[in-house]
Every structure is written in C-alpha cells, then in structure tokens.
Amino acid sequence: MQKVFSKVAMIGVAMVLAAPVQAELVLSQAWLRAVPPVSPTMAGYVTVTNTGPDAVAVTGAHTAIAGHVMLHDMSMQEDGTRRMRHLGKVEIPAGASVSFAPGGMHLMLMHLSRVPAAGESVQVCLEQADGEPVCGDFPVSGSAPSEP
C-alpha cells in the first residue's frame, strides 16, 4: 500500500513539474485619454508586467467600445518629426515591464461606438500570442494616474 502511495505521489509531483507554468501579465497605471465626444479615436496607456518565467508577446487588444484596437509606437525621427507605426506584437521578457505611455507606445482605439467621458472606466483586454486575454479597467482621464 505504501509503495502504491509513493508511486502515486511521485507521479503527482512529476505532473506538477511537467505542467507548463502560465505566464502572468499584470496591468497597472492603465488609463484612456479623455477626448471630445466627436473624436474618432482614443489612446490607451498601461504598464504591463510579466510576472511569469517566460517571455510573453502581446499581439493586440480589444474593448467593447471600439471596433478595432491597434498597438502603435510613436518615435521621433532625425528630422524632428514624429512617426506612428503599427506594431504586430510587443515582447515582454520574463520579469520585465513594458510601458505604453504618451509620446511612445500606445493602444489606438478606432471605430468607437461611443466616446466615454472623463471619470468613466472602460474594460480593455490585451491579447497574448499564447494564453487568455488579460483584462483591466482603464479609467478615462485628462492625464495619467498618479504613481501609487
């Protein structure tokens, strides 16, 4: 009986060790920039921390208020102009944080069904290459939330 028990226990431990550890994304400092009600687009900002042991690729985002959300990067060119470009994915190394912030990477919400007002909060979900989307509440504000 003891032998059977130890075999089962060993198999159990082996299964736990063999199971892939789910990468975990934690969202913080999330917000949407408040814009006029007739605005065709909105920008979203968030800090994404990968608490898992493996790198994670964020491949997109979605929210109920936008028909389409794109990952964008804004970069300063040598001639002083700013260029926006679409990102297919954003890699977040294990244990690292990546910030989507004004003047840099951001979520571009397009085809808005409505423009939420300042003070509202909207759920936005980030999509991963592997794994379930990670969702968070994005308060609508004229400026970034203050640091915790």
Partner 1 sequence: MRKLPYILPLLLVLLLAGCDKPESDLPINTRLGGEFTLTDQNGQPFTQSDLKGQVSILFFGYTHCPDICPAVLARVAQVYRSLEEAGLADQVQPVFITFDPERDTAKHLKEYLPWFKAGMVGLTGSLQDIRQVAEKYGVVFIKGKEEENYLFTHSDYIYLLDDQARVRKLYPADFNIEEVAGDAESLL
Q: Which residues bind partner 1 (CB under 8 A)?
A: 33, 35-43, 72, 74, 77, 79-84, 102-103, 106, 108-110, 142-143
Nearest approach, Cβ of residue 76 and partner 1 (Å):
10
> Of 27 and 42, which CB lies nearer to partner 1 in the complex structure?
42
**How far is the C-alpha of 92 from the C-alpha of 49, rounded, in Å?**
8
Q: What are phi and psi of 9, to 5 degrees?
A: -60, -40
> Of 20 and 103, which CB lies nearer to partner 1 in the complex structure?
103
> Of 53 and 102, which CB lies nearer to partner 1 in the complex structure?
102
Nearest approach, Cβ of residue 66 and partner 1 (Å):
11
Nearest approach, Cβ of residue 141 and partner 1 (Å):
11
Q: Residue 63's beta-bridge partner residues?
A: 66, 124
Nearest approach, Cβ of residue 37 and partner 1 (Å):
7
> Of 7 and 111, which CB lies nearer to partner 1 in the complex structure?
111
In angstroms, the Cα distances linking 77 to 41, 82, 83, 108 are: 23, 6, 7, 20
Residue ranges of E strands in 12-133: 25-33, 42-50, 56-63, 66-76, 82-87, 90-92, 97-100, 106-112, 121-128
